[in-house]
Amino acid sequence: MQADTEAFESNQAPKAPEGTGARKPVALEPRRLVQVILAALTATVASAAMSMFDGGWQTALQLGASAGLLLLAWWYTRRNAVDRAAKLMLATLTLSMISLVYQHQGLRDEALCAFPAIMVFAGMFASRRAFFTMLSVIVAALCIITLANLQGWHVNQVPPVSLNSLFNVVAILMVTAFFVWLMAGDLRSALARLEAENERIRESHARIDTLAHHDALTGLPNRLLARDRFEQMIAHARRSHTSAALLYLDLDDFKSVNDSLGHAAGDLLLCDVADRLTHAVRSTDTVSRQGGDEFLIVMGDLVDDQAAAATASKIIDQLARPFYINGLELSATCSLGIALFPEDGDDFDALLKSADMAMYRAKDSGRNGFRFYDVEMNTSVIEHLHLISGIRAALARGEFALHYQPQYHLKTGRIVGAEALIRWRHPELGFIPPAKFIPVAERSGLIHEVGAWVLNEACGQAKRWQNAGLSDLTVAVNLSPIQFRRDDIEREVMNALASWNLSPSSIELELTESLLIADSHHLRGLLVRLRALGIRLSIDDFGTGYSNLGYLKRFEVERLKIDQSFVRRLTENANDEGIVRAIIEMAHSLKLEAVAEGIENEATLARLIELGCEFGQGFLWAPALPADEFFNFATDGEAADGVAG
């Protein structure tokens, strides 16, 4: 079969060079050519038989020769020489019909009926040159026959009509009709295939358009289509002097669904959420999926902001109903941000940014609610970005400094340590409190660089104090929970100790309760290794988080630092005193030391000593001091005696 195909392709007419005006002939199927040749052969043999029956032996011989050439053309088709077979058939039929016209009735001969069929065949399957050559030959032959009759060189006689004439005409018409029927059938098939292909292309274009403008999972419009519709709504709002709104929606804690039930269940939940959102808005509004668990609602023709607020409330109510996914009942709350046109922006991008900021404000406010955008949100974001760039610059320019608040043994009044507290004095903004820039550093990831600097600086200062004679001091360093999310916190601690040749017992790491509550295998192993080195561990701000005995026992910390919010009102509020007493007793029952923060007066100090608290710090002695001032304070004998007294 492959050899036959190659032979067929090798016998096709070559493609004419561009610009020559030649036309490549249509590829002819061998089976079609065989059918045409056999039809012509049948008619030729029948006409030859009729001529023999009427005694026209010369015509019969001529038609017999034509039949032989047609058989040769058929043989060529069997050898896949399709182009050669077609040319031979066309030449045979053309010359045969011209000969019959010349010999018999001239321009009145029935053989003339065959010329249109021959020309149709040549026009479809021969080259342009072959077509015009055959047409020229036929016209020239007819002109010569006509001229011969007019000049008397050869006069064609017109005999009476006979059955043979009728048979010849019918045979020619039958062959012509058969050929036309075949060509018409092929044309209809080609048109049907073309229409089917066009329909497929139209469907493909429709699918491409759908994919380009709709979300593949939910079928909702995507951001591109939402942008287009919102721009139309803005144009309408300008003409009609109405308002428009963008509602930016984000599902609360959707990640937990994917993590616990898998992404397939998460996709089902997103589809159900999309369906409820579609039913919660007006038919003229557009619900769009932006990606992940974020959706956008486009609203137009608003008279005031109450319509947007009502829609937001309806959406929250709709999502509050339980979802049923794979037999499980799930709940899904959302946070919504609303931006209005023209108050909050005059184009899609500006309003999208405003709605996004309002959505995050809704999350920060407790989630499962909505917030309208206001200018202060943008100011807060800009301030946040300035703080991020400022923190990077402060690390590079050395703007950070550590201050140290002394820690005392309460009964003896002796300084036993210091808590290192970071301070930032901006060259333009002045003093920036840690409560303002530390959360920004944690959200931006810069806390790793800041924490590494604090740790290294605290170790260096501890070493310098030891060299200056303060050998018994322990420096406490606060660590952010985010620092433990990377695997290099242990290496940072070891590098800081090694770079200053400092004993691990000189450093105390203060951890938060939220970090210990996680109780991951990685964290537990890390803290065990740090304790094995001799590094002291304490829990900072104890009592404000998820206090329990379990993690205190598992992690084997040494100290509990009682939060200053309880210590400051110790002598004024019985509840605070009860909390402090309970923490101290719990610490002692677990063989832990208690450290009270925020001691500001003698009465509080005396009560803490009565309750059995061992250590403390606060403004009663000193605030956090620069390193040089702390050294002077710690070595000042009179100050120490005064505190003891």
Convert the pLDDT of each residue in 52-91 to its tens digit.
877 778 878 888 888 889 889 889 888 888 888 888 888 8
Q: What is the pLDDT of residue 620?
A: 92
Residues 315, 317, 320, 325: what is their CA dihedral angle, to the nearest 10 degrees?
-50
Residue whose token pair is 């505190």: 643
Chain mean pLDDT for the chain? 83
CB burial of 415-443 (b: ≥16 within 10 Å; e: otherwise) equals: bebbbbbbebeeeeeeebeeeebbebbbe
Give the pLDDT confidence of 237-262 residue by residue, as tens digits. Answer: 888 888 999 999 999 888 888 888 88
Could you tell me if 26 and 124 are in contact, meaning their C-beta atoms sit under 8 angstroms apart?
yes
Q: Please give the Cα distance from 257 to 235 (Å, whole number).
A: 40
- pLDDT value of residue 26: 45
pLDDT for 80: 84
Q: Does pLDDT of 298 surpass 90?
A: yes
Element (H, E) at 476: strand 474-478
Per the document, the length of the chain is 645
Mention the CATH class of domain 407-421+447-644: alpha beta
Listed in order, strand segments (DSSP E) in 253-333 are 286-291, 294-302, 323-325, 328-330
Asked if residues 243 and 305 have their Cβ atoms less than 8 Å apart, the reply is: yes
Between residues 176 and 356, which one has the greater pLDDT?
Answer: 356
Instruction: Decide if 223-373 and 407-421+447-644 have a common fold.
Output: no
CB of 443 within 8 A of CB of 475?
no
Is pLDDT at 608 greater than 90 in this prediction?
A: yes
Has residue 487 got a pLDDT over 60? yes
**Is residue 415 helix, strand or coil?**
strand
User: 223-373, which class in CATH?
Assistant: alpha beta
**Diameter over CA atoms, the chain:** 158
Structure tokens that stand for 83 in this block: 């182009």
Is residue 549 very low, low, confident or very high in pLDDT (cuts 50, 70, 90)?
low
Structure tokens at 299: 């609203």
Cα distances from 281 to residues 204, 213, 629, in angstroms, run 31, 20, 65
Residue (of 368, 342, 344, 343) closest to 356 by Cα position: 344
Q: Are strands 414-426 and 400-409 parallel, antiparallel or unpaired?
A: antiparallel
- Pairwise CA distance, residues 410 & 406, whole Å: 12
CB atoms within 10 A of CB 171: 22
The pLDDT confidence band at residue 274, using thresholds 50, 70 and 90, is very high
pLDDT tens digits, one per residue of 300-337: 988 878 888 899 999 999 998 999 988 888 888 899 99
pLDDT at 545: 55
DSSP 546: -
Between 67 and 406, the more confident residue is: 406
State how far the Cα of 584 lies from the Cα of 597, in Å rounded to an integer: 13
Write out pLDDT tens, residues 85-133: 888 888 888 888 888 888 887 787 778 888 888 887 787 767 788 888 8
Give per-residue pLDDT as tens, 369-398. Answer: 898 888 766 666 677 778 888 889 899 999
The per-residue pLDDT for range 576-604, each reduced to its tens digit, is 899 999 999 988 988 899 999 999 999 99
Across 57-61, 141-145, 222-226, 432-436, least confident range: 57-61
Q: Which whole number is the average pLDDT over 617-633? A: 93
* pLDDT-based confidence at residue 517 (cuts at 50, 70, 90): low
Angstrom CA distances, 497 to 201, 452, 505, stand at: 70, 12, 10
Sorted by sequence, the CB contacts under 8 Å of residue 525 that are 6+ apart come out as none
Mean pLDDT in residue range 19-29: 46
- pLDDT over threshold 90, residue 401: yes
Name the residue ranges covered by the structural domains of the chain.
2-190, 223-373, 407-421+447-644
Amino acid at position 366, single letter: G
CA distances from residue 494 to 401, 501, 504, 522, 556 in whole angstroms, order as listed:
22, 10, 9, 17, 20
Rounded to 5 degrees, what are φ and ψ at 290? -90, -20
Structural contact between residues 143 and 149, judged by C-beta atoms closer than 8 angstroms: no
| Residue 194 CA to its chain's centroid (Å) | 36
